[in-house]
Amino acid sequence: MTENQTDNTRRAFFVKLSLGLSALSAFVAGIPVISALLAPLLEKTPEVWRKVADLDDFAIGAVKLVTFENADPEAWAGITASSAAWLRRESESTFTAFSVNCTHLGCPVRWEEGAQLFMCPCHGGVYYKDGTVASGPPPKALVQYRVRINKQQIQIQTAPVPITTL
């Protein structure tokens, strides 16, 4: 092997080594970066029961806006840690809790007591009192939360913001 050939082999080796090490360092440095980017998908959010009202606060047929803290709020979330739901007392022992998010594009729906309808301010979606679509663009009924009565307290199980999919 000539001196020139040895040099070329050496050079080829170092080129491969430099590229390989660069790729390795980029890969290793990239792990925490990708992890930060995908953090919301990697962390599991628990679903917990939150007290939203006392049983005595609700007359049968009443619909009220209730608020509760999200399942796993960050210390710096401040008031953004809250969520809301529309809660209706159907009978002595049954309640229905509707998400406040319109199924069209997520805007906050309002309960209009006189009209007995839920109305969305954004694009005019309207729902009947059972949450089914009355008119406008919403593709499906209002999403419901799970509700239970525990020791004279009404509790709602926290859930993700309902995202309408195709």
Kindly tell me which of 126 and 147 has the beta carbon lying closer to another protein: 126
Closest CA to 45 of 77, 80, 75, 70: 70
The CB-of-9 to another protein minimum distance in angstroms stands at 37
Alpha-carbon gap, residue 80 to 23, rounded angstroms: 40
Residues forming contacts to another protein in the complex (CB under 8 A) are 38-41, 43, 45, 65, 67-68, 70-71, 73-84, 100-101, 104-110, 112, 114-117, 119, 121-124, 126, 128, 134-139, 159-161, 163-166
The CB-of-43 to another protein minimum distance in angstroms stands at 8
The CB-of-142 to another protein minimum distance in angstroms stands at 13
Kindly tell me which of 28 and 79 has the beta carbon lying closer to another protein: 79
Kindly tell me which of 126 and 154 has the beta carbon lying closer to another protein: 126
Torsions phi, psi of 95, nearest 5? -130, 155
Alpha-carbon gap, residue 71 to 46, rounded angstroms: 6
Kindly tell me which of 28 and 39 has the beta carbon lying closer to another protein: 39
The CB-of-85 to another protein minimum distance in angstroms stands at 9
Compute how many other C-beta atoms are within 10 angstroms of the C-beta atom of residue 29: 10
